[in-house]
Structures are given as C-alpha cells and as structure tokens.
Amino acid sequence: MRPIDYTRADSIAAAVEAFAAVGADARYIAGGTTLYDLMKLRVEQPTHLIDVSGITGLNTIDTNGDVLRFGALALMNEVAYTPFVREEYPVLSESLLKAASQQLRNMATVGGNLLQRTRCPYFRNGAGSSSTVGVYPCNKRVPGSGCAAIGGLDRGHAILGVSDACVAVSPGDWPVALTAMDASIEIHGPAGTRTLPISDFYRLPGDTPHLEFNIDHGEIITAISVPKTPSRSSTYHKIRDRESFAFALASAAVVVEMEGAIVRTARIALGGVATVPWRAHSAEEALRGKQLTPDLALQAGRTAFGDARPGQHNGFKSDLGARVIADALMIAAERSA
Ligand SMILES: Cc1cc2nc3c(=O)[nH]c(=O)nc-3n(C[C@H](O)[C@H](O)[C@H](O)COP(=O)(O)OP(=O)(O)OC[C@H]3O[C@@H](n4cnc5c(N)ncnc54)[C@H](O)[C@@H]3O)c2cc1C
C-alpha cells in the first residue's frame, strides 16, 4: 500500500500553488477515468493528487464569442451534446461521441482527454512490481530501457511519426478533431497564462518518448478554444475492432469547404495511425481546387501515408487509413449539399 496525499483545490491559483508545494510527484486529477487506471497499473505513481474537479467556472462552454471556448472541466458528453456544436461542428461532436462509453464520457473532462497516455500494452501492462524496468522494456515508461513493441506485437501501433525509440499510438479522438480545427490550448502556471496551438502541444517521440506534451509540471489546462470557421461539412470517421467502446485503428477528422463539386479547402487530421494527432497536409494539398470524386479522395488519402514506416503487423494501416480519409471526405462533402 502506497500512501497518497489528496488536496481539493477550489481555484486555479490554489491548484497551482498546491502543485508547486509538492513538485514533480504531484498530479492534477479531473474525472479520474484514466489517471486512476494508470496508478493501479503502477505506470503513474504520484505521491499527491490535486483534485481540480471542483474549480468554479472551469466547466463553462461558450459558443457565443469570436471562438468556441470549452472550459477544461467541461465533460465530454456536455460538449458533444451542445446543440450548436452538434449542428455546426459535427467533427467535434462525433469525435467525442465515438470515444469511450456514455458512463466514461459523463465523468471524463475535455481537458483530461488531451493528456491521456498511450494504450500501448507494453507501456500500460509492463510496469510489474519489482524491477525498475518492469515486465517489458518501454522507453516511454522507463527512459532508455528499450521498446518491446518494435519487433513485438505491433498491430495497433503507429506507422507515422515513429522513431527507433517508440511506435506508440496517440490514443485520443478529440485531439484529432481539434487538430483539424486548428484549436488552441489555454494553460495557466506559476509563470502566468499562455496559449499554445494544438500543433505545438504534442511532441513526436524522437529519442525522448517519455516527453509527450509541451506542458510543464504544475501547469494546468484551463480551456480549449476553436476558431469559428464554417464546419458543417465535417465529420469524424473512426474504424475500430468493434463499433463501440474501442480505440481507433484508423480515424480521420475532415472539414471541407466546397464550391459545388470543387474542393476549395480541406483540413484533415488522423488518429490511430500516428504517434501524435497527425495533420495530413499532403492530402489536403492533393485536393485543393479539384473536383471531388471517390477516386480523387482515395488518391489524396494515399498521399498521407507516403512516409509511413510500418512494423511487422501493422502494414494494413496504410491502406485502411487512406480509405478512412476517402470515406470521410465523401461524407463531409455530402453535408455541404
Ligand atoms: C475503458 C476506456 C475506454 C476509453 N476509450 C476512449 C476512446 O475510444 N477514445 C478516447 O479519446 N478516449 C478514450 N478513453 C479515455 C478517456 O477519454 C479519458 O480517460 C478521459 O478523457 C480523461 O479525462 P479525465 O478528466 O478523466 O482525466 P483524468 O484521468 O482526471 O486525468 C488525465 C490526465 O490529465 C491530467 N489532467 C486532468 N485535467 C487536467 C487539467 N485541467 N490540467 C492539467 N492536467 C490535467 C491528469 O494529471 C492526468 O495526467 C477511454 C478510457 C477508458 C477508461
């Protein structure tokens, strides 16, 4: 039994202060739907939990301003079922509704979702209890220990953004939709408040896969803002081993702006195939100014996987991912009619 201290913060300032007093062994906790799991698995071993779930005003959903603004403590279901979000930004709503389960989405926050860690089984189930490395080596869990997924059972692993140190997939659906929407993350810490584009929030593994997010110890996510660009013609398309309650094998968040059958702009981000929420710029370029047909959509999808580096068992993700992009493009374009 490991003792854990617990503080319930009633303001952002109190939370940041409590964290600073403990240091790197503290963790914020919001819905607790993933942190408690990781503690039971001994992957995360904080000595002090700072509960931010009661901070007033951090769960506000504001759709009336210049941007959509979601407080970090807004629940996944609250955001997904906000009528304006459902109607005008289906890509956001669908990314949330295709994640986890109703019960989890009623507990889990949209801020905590951004910081969930990979579901790589070697990372999650490998900690063990006695040795430092655990049952399996994992550079994300124990830097420098190696990667059991490379050359191991890698069917669910990444083929884009991989390194020789890590091939773990970024698990979230919501961050993929936010990447297609060019969202920003508002962060508050001891040094004040800053705003980071989501494209700068996630770190490629390189040779430091344990450093996953550009957020410092003690900083707290306060809100997520999304530009109010027209997005009715959008979708989040997710393929998984079963049709509910499963993480993506491949997913695509797509937002298109059409002029008749011509694609004026397309914004495409991918999940389930990459080490970070992956913006598919090459596919976007392949579509610009062209008439959208199923053939062109598939061709564009294929360009997204030109640099793919599959392992032993996940080569199928290139073809699956291209087809997911193609289907998502046709669904999104149909919504502009
Ligand atoms: C069985 C299961 C299936 C799931 N399936 C999916 C799925 O298909 N798709 C998907 O996207 N997700 C899925 N999830 C993950 C789920 O969406 C996340 O667990 C949830 O969004 C995390 O939110 P939370 O508020 O519970 O975070 P917590 O567990 O409270 O915290 C998560 C992390 O974020 C930190 N944190 C929380 N809030 C803040 C904040 N405001 N500022 C700074 N740090 C913070 C915590 O310290 C912790 O490190 C699944 C989870 C489970 C258990």
Q: Ligand 1: distance of its center to the CA of 261 in Å?
A: 39
Per-residue model confidence (pLDDT) at position 2 = 83
User: pLDDT tens digit string along 37-78?
Assistant: 999 999 999 999 999 999 999 999 999 999 999 999 999 999
Q: Are strands 61-62 and 184-189 parallel, antiparallel or unpaired?
A: unpaired
Q: If phi over 0 gives left and psi between -120 and 50 gives alpha, with beta otherwise, what is residue 23?
A: left
> What's the order of all strands across the beta sheet hosting 262-271?
234-239, 250-259, 262-271, 278-279
User: Quick check: 324 and 239 in contact, CB under 8 A?
Assistant: yes
Per-residue model confidence (pLDDT) at position 252 = 99
Q: Ligand 1: distance of its center to the CA of 32 in Å?
A: 7
User: pLDDT tens digit string along 252-291?
Assistant: 999 999 999 999 999 999 999 999 999 999 999 999 999 9
Per-residue model confidence (pLDDT) at position 125 = 87
Task: Name the strand (E) or helix (H) holding 113.
Answer: helix 110-114
Separation between Cα atoms, residue 303 and residue 274, nearest integer Å: 15
CATH topology of domain 234-334: Enolase-like; domain 1 (3.30.390)
In the structure, which protein residues have their CB atom closer than 6 angstroms to any atom of ligand 1? 27-35, 37, 52, 72, 76, 99-100, 104, 107-109, 111-113, 115-116, 171-174, 220-221, 247
| Per-residue pLDDT band at 135 (split at 50, 70, 90) | confident
- The domain 5-54 is placed in CATH, from the list 3.30.43.10, 1.10.3720.10, 3.20.19.10, 3.90.550.10, at 3.30.43.10
Output the residue whose Cα is nearest ligand 1's atom 16: 113
**What does the pLDDT average to over 164-177?**
98
Q: Kindly write down the DSSP assignment for every residue of 144-186, as one continuous string.
A: TS-BSSTTS--TTS-SBS--SS--PPP--SHHHHHHHTT-EEE
Per-residue model confidence (pLDDT) at position 130 = 63
Mean confidence (pLDDT) of the chain: 96
Output the residue whose Cα is nearest ligand 1's atom 13: 100
3-state secondary structure of 80: helix
Output the residue whose Cα is nearest ligand 1's atom 31: 112
User: pLDDT tens digit string along 279-325?
Assistant: 999 999 999 999 999 999 999 999 999 999 999 999 999 999 999 99
**Residue intervals in the chain for CATH 3.30.43.10:** 5-54
Check whether 17 has a pLDDT greater than 80.
yes
Pocket-testing residue among 35, 73, 106, ligand 1, by greatest number of atoms within 8 A of Cβ: 35
Neighbours of 102 (CB within 10 A): 11
Separation between Cα atoms, residue 304 and residue 172, nearest integer Å: 19
Per-residue model confidence (pLDDT) at position 64 = 97
**Residue intervals in the chain for CATH 3.30.390.50:** 234-334
What percentage of the chain reaches a pLDDT higher than 90? 94
Check whether 243 has a pLDDT greater than 90.
no
Check whether 1 has a pLDDT greater than 90.
no
Check whether 163 has a pLDDT greater than 80.
yes
Length of the chain: 337
Check whether 129 has a pLDDT greater than 70.
no
**What does the pLDDT average to over 178-183?**
98
User: pLDDT tens digit string along 91-118?
Assistant: 999 999 999 999 999 999 999 999 999 9
| Per-residue pLDDT band at 184 (split at 50, 70, 90) | very high
Per-residue model confidence (pLDDT) at position 332 = 98
